[in-house]
Structure 1
Amino acid sequence: MARFDLAVIGAGPAGLSAAVTAAEHGLRVALVDAGTQPGGQFWRHPDEHHPRPDEGRGQHLWSRFTDLRTRLRGLESDSGTAGRVELVSGHQVWFVDTLAEEFLLHLSATQGETRLPEIHAAALVLCPGGYDRQLPVPGWDLPGVMAAGGVQALLKAHRSVAGRRAIVAGTGPFLLPVAAGLAEAGAEVVAVCEAGSLSGWARRPLGAAAVPSKALEAVEYAALLARHRIPYRMRTVVTAIHGETEVGSVGLGRLDRNGRLRTDVSLADLDVDLVAFGWGFTPSLELITAVGATTRVDVDESLVADVDDWQRTDVPGAYVAGEATGVGGALLAVAEGELAALAASRDAGRPVSEPRVRYLQRQIARGRRFAATMHRAHPVPTGWQDWLQPDTTVCRCEETTLGEICAATEELGATDARTVKLLARPGMGWCQGRVCGFAAAKLAKPVGEALTVSDLAPLAKRTFAAPVSLERLATTSTESDGATSHDNDA
């Protein structure tokens, strides 16, 4: 049994920042991450045991990562500040018990043997990050269709290109680094299809200017796209994917200013063997709901953790930082992680710098303004359901079609996402709604109606935050008598 002052879950930008800051303020910290090395999805890179000279090639904020990694290694070392951080890599938290005075985390290894099955921590900083939001398209279950984040992960960690002739489609700035990365790695990128328009940024100049470095990144990516002669098609979407056993071509459609599919415009199909889809990101909320923290709906209709101006949730001792408080990028996540660690240190009786706190709070406020502008400039198009067919698969795990979801609402009287889930089974499979949850929730409501917490919360609650073996369940400690857990009510 291991006991710590603070457990930080996730070793991405927010988690790394939180762990080193808390340890430097004297707390004993456990940093738990499913990956085998720190960095998370944003700073994913080749195996550090076999380093390459170009391990940071194409990585933004790489010097920030290497600084955090160096500080982390110093805090793990046997000299000076020995033992302030224990990095528990290759492990994930599958269950959280809320005890009277602390949290009990149940861990399992992502590969090999479980080195540390349980952790007791007086406080938690939850930095679970997020994953690609997806929308169904006819043919999206064919081999060769991938999430944009998955395509980029292959490039960053393995220098592996998922296809030879690719199209990158969806909405948001993330499409640009994915397309640029594919082109730099030797793939032919036939187009970037952006469902929105850059005019959305022009309508909100103050928010766009809140983080000036983002404009420089955009210029850099625009130059890369121009150098590789990659067309950037605005208000354009992939409406169908064709192929027998794998992707062979895609059909395109043009959207009007209201995000509805235009029927007066016909676009030629494009031959491709890779489709990289990205409709923004969705926070991972399994651990937030596991501790019982309150959630809210953000500007982009994602369910996010509700925190105060110190990153505290309404659960004593639980803090959240990074994408789980609202998708906003790595710079914002680093600032939130540091602030959460300062809050945890202060609440534990350690002195913290008040000027530093105020600086971070101002930086976070600017980051949030930019994030809100980004989400409003790149919304999921109102008419995304226009290109679906009754036999279009919505939930790939359970093979639930649009027709079956419509039958649940129109014939069986389902009026909310939870009831649709029970009747038609979207979100009941292996991924537990992580891929189809947003689409299924939207399909359960009238077109154009905004999602609410009650629509999204049942899809985010999961008894187990990660897969766990029956053997691990059978050997789990029963010490947590009297603990409070927040199980899935679906």
Structure 2
Amino acid sequence: MPLSTPDDPGTPAGRTESYDLVVVGAGPAGLAGAVAAAERGLSVALLDGDAQLGGQFYRHPAPGLGAAAPEALHHGWAAFDALRRRWEGSGGVHLPQHHVWTVAGERAATPGAGADGASWVVHAVTGPDGDDERSVAVRGRALLLATGAAERHLPFPGWTLPGVIGAGGAQAMLKSGLVLPGGRVVVAGSGPLLLAVASSLVTAGARVPALVEASGYLGYARRPDVLATGPGKLVEAAGLVTRLLGRGARPYPRHAVVRAHGTERVEAVTVARLDGDWRPVPGTERRVPCDAVAVGHGLVPRIDLATALGCETRRTVDGAVALVVDPAQRTSVPGLWSAGETAGIGGALLAMTEGELAGTAVAARLRGVSVARPSARTRSLLRTRARLRAFADLMAAAHRPGDGWPAWLDDDTEVCRCEEVTAGRIGEAVEDLGAGDARTVKLLTRAGMGWCQGRVCGPAVACLATRGGRGTEQRPLPASPERRSPAVPVRLSTLAALDPDPGED
């Protein structure tokens, strides 16, 4: 039986619904954590901004589109489908189209408080875009953050042209809307996601004239011991490459798209060879005609909710910032767990493994079950996590962006698209006005103050701010990302309608 019972689903706006565990994010990690906790008797609320389960990785078409085989564009669909069926039979509560904008902790232990005396209030706005006239507060005795990741975008001249989109964005268009970004799509950037995106595009009927990888793949050879633990991944990658070559895709290892050309939309790109620091090699430029570009340079963890609560962070091998978690997926904040890409990019299987570990640990903590000796299942999960995390770290090191990428830019290149802040203005803020971090650059230029709140330009602005503006002076990277709330846009009326609660921080 659940340790506590959720309030009536018909709870009016403004009243708080209470659960043992609140999970934010219904992707592989959040879904696995919610299932593990619910099957162990906890009452669980699973919140997500999308209408369906699966997150970004298992994004699939809306039922109204009539897709006959949505699994055709996914890897590991059977594992997700089995997890979804378990969730549907677990008695947990799915709260779709709930966009979490902040989380508040109780100042002190209260009657019924959960793990480590903690209790949490999760505030969300509802609707497809969070624009319904209703705000929701959900209370949990424990909190699991599984907020996933976002694409890392590195700008280049012409990247604001229509037809230039993120690699993950192209995949999302295809998976959820069954829409191709164009007929001839150059896939570019760095990281294993490129192969999956290119394969999905050719499966759906697009032509990929060029597969442009900035890093190449020789970095994997430095750790043959780690490669040996994941032979299936190597076979999968080789199969994708063979298939793409058979469909006419030309690989460009150690190259990058350094400029997009066009008037009304992209018509071609310039591809150039890169040196070991990711600077373009003069005289190696090649023009490739296309009508769309899908470009991405890996993923970065989405940890804004966690850092706003004071969670400890670490620098990953590819320069991103991730949360520090213990073997049970607990963060440094008592009563708060995290799983999946928030602890470091690693893929769906690793996310599911970490989610199950977290859900199991929360259930044991709230039920007062001793875990002096982990169960056989937990020991197996720990071994799987160690193996997958080692492979993930190898991938991150192999595809880490080189420090010389700002050499792609000219002073007129827009870095912050929302506020139209150019690389030249950021360079002036750093070199002439003394800015040495992303926050100061934002205050001087408005970079990151637009609608996306830095989610697109943030990594690039931070890199330019801490590396001398135009990549000429090396400065240490910041220790942690900026803390701020709200995590998503909310109306002033939503803030005004909140009832003051003296028990919340």
Q: Distance in 2 between matches of 1:380 and 1:66?
A: 35
How many angstroms does 1:423 deviate by?
Answer: 1.1
SS at match of 2:380: helix
Cα deviation, 1:13-51, whole Å, max 9, x if unaligned, reads: 001100000001111000001110101111111124665
Residues 316-363 of structure 1: per-residue CA shift (max 9 Å, x gap): 110000001000111100000000111111111254752222221111
Q: Are the aligned partners of 1:207 and 1:372 in contact in 2 as well (CA < 8 Å)? A: no
Unaligned runs of at least 5 residues, structure 1: 77-84, 485-490
Percent identity over the alignment is 44
**Which of 458, 461, 467 lines up with 1:440 in the alignment?**
461
CA distance change for structure 1 residues 368 and 453 in 2, over 3 Å: closer, same or farther?
Answer: farther
CA contact (8 A) 1:37 1:48 kept: no
- Indicate which of 319, 324, 333 corresponds to 1:306: 324
Judging changes above 3 Å, is the alpha-carbon distance between structure 1 residues 229 and 415 closer, same or farther for their aligned structure 2 residues? same
What secondary structure, in the 3-state scheme, does the structure 2 residue paired with 1:444 have?
Answer: helix
Q: Which residue of 2 aligns with 1:23?
A: 38
Relative to 1, partners in 2 of residues 1:306 and 1:242: Cα closer, same or farther, differing over 3 Å? same
**What residue is the counterpart of 2:499 in the other structure?**
477
Establish whether residue 375 from structure 1 lines up as the match of residue 422 from structure 2.
no
Q: Is the 8 A contact 1:25 1:350 kept in 2?
A: no
Long gaps (5+) in structure 2: 1-15, 109-117
Q: The residue matched to 2:71 in structure 1 has which SS?
A: coil
Between the aligned partners of 1:427 and 1:108, the Cα distance in structure 2 is 22
CA distance in 1, matches of 2:444, 2:413: 18
Please, which moves more after superposition, 56-65 or 282-291?
282-291
The TM-score with structure 1 as length reference comes to 0.92
Quick one: distance in 1 between partners of 2:245 and 2:368? 52
Bigger shift: residues 112-121 or 382-391: 112-121
The answer to whether the Cα contact below 8 Å between 1:107 and 1:114 also exists between their aligned partners in 2 is no
CA shift in 2, pair 1:242/1:31, >3 Å: same
2:343 maps to 325
Contact 2:257–2:272 (CA<8 Å) still a contact in 1?
A: yes
State yes or no: 1:276 paired with 2:300. Answer: no
Q: Does the CA contact (< 8 Å) of 2:317 and 2:397 recur in 1?
A: yes
Matched, 1:56 2:78: no
CA distance in 1, matches of 2:349, 2:327: 17
* Distance across 1 between alignment mates of 2:443 and 2:343: 28
- The correspondence of residues 158-197 of structure 1 with structure 2, limited to 5 A, is 158-197=177-216
- 2:503 matches 1:468: no
Q: Do the aligned partners of 1:195 and 1:381 also contact (CA within 8 Å) in 2?
A: no
How many aligned positions are there?
471
**Aligned partners of 1:209 and 1:441: how far apart in 2?**
36
Of 130, 146, 153, the match for 1:127: 146
Report the secondary structure of 1:182's partner residue.
helix
> In terms of mean alpha carbon deviation, does 108-117 or 410-419 score higher?
108-117
Shift of 1:441: 1.2
Give the whole-Å Cα distance in 2 for the aligned partners of 1:126 and 1:299: 22
Distance 2:381 2:355 in 1: 10
Picking from 452, 457, 481, the partner of 2:481 is 457
- Structure 1 residue 450: deviation in Å? 7.0
Where in structure 1 do 4 or more consecutive aligned residues deviate above 6 Å?
none
Secondary structure of 1:312 counterpart: coil
- 1: CA distance between counterparts of 2:83 and 2:134? 24
CA RMSD of aligned residues (A): 1.7
Gap change, CA 1:215 and 1:23, over 3 Å in 2: same
Deviations 1:350-385 (A, max 9, x none): 547522222211111111110111011112133211
1:247-269, Cα deviation, whole Å (9 max, x unpaired): 11111111123432211x33331
How much has 1:114 moved relative to structure 2?
6.4
- Per the TM alignment, residue 170 of structure 1 is displaced from its structure 2 partner at its CA by 0.4
TM-score of the superposition, structure 2-length normalised?
Answer: 0.90
**Change in CA separation of 1:335 and 1:390 when aligned onto 2, cut-off 3 Å:** same
- Between the aligned partners of 2:476 and 2:436, the Cα distance in structure 1 is 13
Residue in 2 that maps onto 1:32: 47
Any idea what SS the aligned residue of 2:243 has?
helix
